[in-house]
Amino acid sequence: MFGKTFKLFSLFGFEVKIDLSWLIIIALVTWSLSMAVFPAQYPGLDWPAYLAMGLGGAAGLFVSIVWHELSHSLVARRYGLPMRGITLFIFGGVAEMSDEPPSAKAEFMMAVAGPISSVVLAGISFGLSLLIVLAGLPGAIATVLAWLALINGLLAVFNMIPGFPLDGGRVLRSIIWHFKGNLRAATSAASRVGGTFGMVLVGLGFLTLLWGAPLGGLWWIFIGLFLRAAAKQGYQQVIVREALKGEPVRRFMNDSPVYVTPSIPLDRLVEDYIYRLHYKMFPVVEENTGRLLGCVTTRQVSDVPRDRWSSTTVGDIACECGEENAINADSDSVHALSHMSGSGQSRMMVVEDGQLVGVLSLKDLMDFLSLKLELESESKRASPPILPR
Going by C-alpha positions, the residue among 31, 11, 184, 22 that lies closest to residue 90 is 22
**DSSP code of residue 45:** -
Torsion of CA 267, 271, 275, 279, to 10 degrees: -60
**Active-site residue flag, 69:** yes
Catalytic residue selected from 15, 69, 96, 100: 69
CA 117/CA 156 separation, integer angstroms: 8
**144 contact partners, CB below 8 Å, separation of at least 6:** 38, 53, 56, 57, 60
CA 277/CA 83 separation, integer angstroms: 35
Q: What are the backbone angles phi and psi of residue 195, rounded to the nearest 5°?
A: -65, -40
Determine which helix (DSSP H) or strand (DSSP E) holds 244, and give its type and residue range.
Answer: helix 214-244
Torsion of CA 191, 197, 198, 200, to 10 degrees: 150
Going by C-alpha positions, the residue among 106, 99, 77, 62 that lies closest to residue 12 is 77
**C-alpha of 89 from chain center:** 10
CA 54/CA 206 separation, integer angstroms: 29
Question: 239: burial class by Cβ within 10 Å (0-12, 13-18, 19+)?
Answer: middle
167-180 and 104-134 helices, crossing angle to 10°: 150
List the beta strands (DSSP E) in the chain. 5-11, 14-19, 83-89, 92-97, 281-285, 292-297, 326-327, 347-352, 355-361
**Pairing outcome for strands 347-352 and 326-327:** parallel
Going by C-alpha positions, the residue among 4, 61, 65 that lies closest to residue 28 is 61
CA 288/CA 215 separation, integer angstroms: 65
Check if the beta carbon of residue 339 is closer than 8 Å to that of residue 273: no
Could you list the active site residues? 69
